[in-house]
Structure 1
Amino acid sequence: MNVLDRVLGCLLGGAIGDALGAPIEFQSLREIRRAYGEEGVSDYVTDWRGKAGLITDDTQMTLFTVEGLLTDGGSAAVEAVRAAYLRWLDTQDHKAPPPASLPHHTGLLREEGWLYSRRAPGNACLSGLHRPFPGPAAWGEPGPVNPDSKGCGTVMRSAPFGLLAALAHQAPADSGERAVREAFELSAVCAQITHGHPTGYLAAGAFAAIIAQLMASEALEPAVRRTLALLATYPGHEETTAALHAAMELAAKGQPGPEAIESLGGAWVAEEALAIGVYCALAEPEADRALLLSVNHSGDSDSTGSVCGNLVGALYGRDALPAAWLLPLEGRETIERLAAELVATPG
């Protein structure tokens, strides 16, 4: 499997999980089963607009993360990512691209009309981007923006940090450990742009670290174990560490199902979304089954679908994703373009 296959798998898989979970995000398991049967949804379902295969803010923000990193993945990466998030904010506040009058008005994504649609964005993401970001806090301390917020809006947008770090360290002389730590730290710092709670940003860092390892052909369980060892070196890691341990222990028991998922929480907060995504990818070794497992529960179905999709896509590549879900997926052409640009970016 080549690198582009994994990058495409990660970004497209995340979008598929997002689209599968979006129409049932605010439904209880009982309501899902009443509407779709005991197994829940098994395919895209139409939403209140009568459309299927539509992504949410999870994929929107992931794409703008990619664009920010393509603009500058080096020393000015945090500023570039925040500028990209401000462009995403424009898509939530306007019906069409606003006049290009501000410094952040750059990049091709702001010109794509399909992105100008509110898709239930998180309050912390919205409010955080209306505030200045003076810089990150010391590890384990509350960040300067929304210091009490640890919503899953940090995790669901952070896979690209793992992709970029892995791509930048493909040469034999480069250290895999260096790539993983860089993915972790840049993701955690950029999470603080909107969410300041240590668990919120450390969970985002952990997710990016896992993705970086999957890109290097590591299996998921050892990637999570290595990430746990890395996490333990950062103050404030305890909630994220406990959530990942719970996910691994639950997956080892077998018998995956919605009730098992719900024992890990509702995924409205970062560490729970990460844990559920990891659990589903561990518990079901086939991409389609993992994705369906990840959305059929009472919690934040689109975010857990997105996280699980990023993981299984990076693990198994694009070809493991069902064509029936790829073809109608909203924004597929844009995702494929950004994936190719990311792979082509010099390390």
Structure 2
Amino acid sequence: MIDAAPRRASGSLFGLAYGDALGKPTEFLTVDEIVRRYGPTGPRELTGNPALVTDDTQMALAVAWALHDAPALTPAVVEPLLRRRFLDWAASPDNNRAPGMTCLRACAELSRGMRWQEATQAGSKGCGANMRVTPVGLLDVDLDTLAGLAQLQAGLTHGHPTGLAASELTAYAVRVLRAGATLAELPDLLVGHAQRQRRVYHHDWLGDLWQRPGVTDPAMFIMRGWDECLAVLARLTRALAGPDDGGDPCRYTGEGWVAEEALATALFCAVRHADDPVTALARGATTGGDSDSIAALAGAFLGAAYGMAAWPADWATRIEYANQLTALASPQD
């Protein structure tokens, strides 16, 4: 077992970027194509100088900078900062990494000054909701604030209740791993958290987002999200209890294009390969689904558990946005 090292915030943010970079070239390939290109163990080395990431890391940095700049972590303060960072990302010439259409459409509406509850893509629960939430999990805040921040940053673009719930679960996973929980304990901890939060709607953070046709109250709205998360966590638990043939983990917990599946499939990789973080990232990148997001979340979890000791030392100078990752993680370490 890797020693639980300090610098867990750095380990988590850099781990997200490392997984993103390893999964970037495999995202739209089949497993057979990935194996032909990289061998049966998948991609295990960063390539390029620097090794390029995708919109997953770019948007995680946007969230992190918004939180960094916030003089207070309240809805009124954080929402305009998130909005500005998301719009800056949308307009950036570096936003050329196959960004998700949900984020682009929501940002187009946000740029017109619309209320975010109206600008959001209400039917989308894509993994763009939680691929960027890791910085929230690294904050030293109470659980209500963590939940509100995680769901707000998701809700600006992805208004589906499952996107909100999966984002909170992802941030909570980073939080408890950084606090000392083991990867083996994590699935049960997430099930317990989801059950406790199942009827909790954060009015202060979400406002009237819940008001949809056929929805009679806020609890009914958010329960749908938590129930979908609980269903995929049950699939994860069954998969982890059985043998592992080393194949595509998407067969067990989904391809990761939607938020709850990205969380569960990343957890599968992280838990199965808790003693070998680079193998966990390679496993996430060797999937027939959203490989960069799956590997990125696996990296965030492993880095939160083990710190920078999880990763090859020379990777920290070779990854894109290394200076920003260092600057944002340092106050939390």
Q: For the superposition of Structure 1 and Structure 2, which TM-score range results when normalised by the shorter chain?
A: 0.7 to 0.9
- Does the CA contact (< 8 Å) of 1:267 and 1:276 recur in 2? yes
- CA 1:162–1:288: 2 relative to 1, 3 Å: same
Residue 2 (structure 1) shift: 9.0
Aligned match of 1:145:
120
Shift of 1:117: 4.2
Which is further off, 237-246 or 248-257?
248-257
**Partner-residue secondary structure (3-state), 1:258:** coil
Equivalent in the alignment of 2:181: 218
Is the contact made by 1:152 and 1:269 (CA closer than 8 Å) also made in structure 2? yes
Q: 1:39 to 1:289 in 2, by over 3 A?
A: closer
Residue 103 of structure 1 corresponds to none
- Give the equivalent residue in structure 1 for 2:151: 188
Using the size of structure 1 for normalisation, the TM-score is 0.80
Q: Does 1:74 align with 2:64?
A: no
Residue 134 (structure 1) aligned with residue 115 (structure 2): yes
Deviation at 1:298, TM superposition (A): 1.0
Whether the aligned pair in 2 keeps the contact of 1:254 and 1:283 (CA below 8 Å) is no
1:40 aligns with one of 33, 37, 42: 42
Structure 2 residue 197 is the aligned partner of structure 1 residue 199: no
Q: Deviations over 1:260-292 (max 9, x none)?
A: 333322111111100111111111112111111
1:60 aligns with 2:58: yes
CA distance in 2, matches of 1:65, 1:265: 26
* Counterpart in the other structure of 2:27: 25
**Is the CA contact 1:66–1:342 (under 8 Å) kept in the aligned structure 2?**
no
Q: Distance in 1 between matches of 2:101 and 2:313?
A: 34
The answer as to whether partners of 1:23 and 1:45 remain within 8 angstroms in 2 is no
State how far apart, in whole Å, the 2-side matches of 1:41 and 1:278 are.
Answer: 19
Residues 150 and 196 in structure 1, CA contact (< 8 A), matched pair in contact too: yes
User: Is 1:125 equivalent to 2:123 in the alignment?
Assistant: no
2:136 aligned residue: 161
Q: Which has the higher contact order (CA 8 A, sep 6+)?
A: 2
Gaps of 5+ in 2: 199-222
Is the aligned partner of 1:298 residue 2:278? no
Contact 1:162 1:184 in 2 (8 A): no
Contact 1:162 1:180 in 2 (8 A): no
**Contact 1:22–1:301 (Cα < 8 Å) also in 2:** yes
Determine the structure 1 residue equivalent to 2:215. none
Matched to 1:216, the amino acid is A
- Over the matched positions of the two proteins, sequence identity in percent amounts to 33
Distance 1:43 1:33 in 2: 14
| Over 4 Å off, 4+ runs | 1-4
CA-CA distance at 1:314 after TM superposition: 0.3
Quick check: 214-223 or 203-212, which moved more?
A: 214-223
- Structure 1: state its 5+ residue gaps: 96-115, 137-142, 169-178
**Residue 254 and residue 79 in structure 1: after superposition, are their counterparts in 2 closer, same or farther (change >3 A)?**
farther
Cα distance in structure 2, aligned partners of 1:183 and 1:2? 23
CA distance in 2, matches of 1:213, 1:26: 32
Distance 1:3 1:145, change over 3 A: farther
Distance in structure 2 (CA, Å) of the matches to 1:64 and 1:262 = 32
**1:88 is aligned to 2:89:** yes
Q: Is the CA contact (8 Å cut-off) linking 1:64 and 1:84 kept in structure 2?
A: yes
Q: How many residues align?
A: 298
Cα deviation digits, residues 278-334 of structure 1 (max 9, x gap): 111111112111111111111111100110000000001011111243332111122
Q: C-alpha separation between the residues in 2 aligned to 1:214 and 1:194?
A: 27
Distance between the aligned counterparts of 1:316 and 1:8, measured in 2? 10
Q: How far apart, in 1, do the equivalents of 2:125 and 2:302 lie?
A: 24
Match of 1:278 among 267, 271, 274: 267
2:5 and 2:308 in contact (8 A); partners too: no
Q: Does 1:15 align with 2:14?
A: no
2:7 equivalent among 2, 5, 8: 5
Give the 3-state SS of the residue equivalent to 1:153 in structure 2: helix
Distance change (3 Å), C-alpha of 1:23 and 1:135: closer
| Secondary structure in 2 matching 1:41 | coil
Letter aligned with residue 239 of structure 1: E
Partner Cα separation in structure 1 for residue 183 and residue 245 of structure 2: 17
Deviations 1:132-166 (A, max 9, x none): 45355xxxxxx8621111111011000111111xx
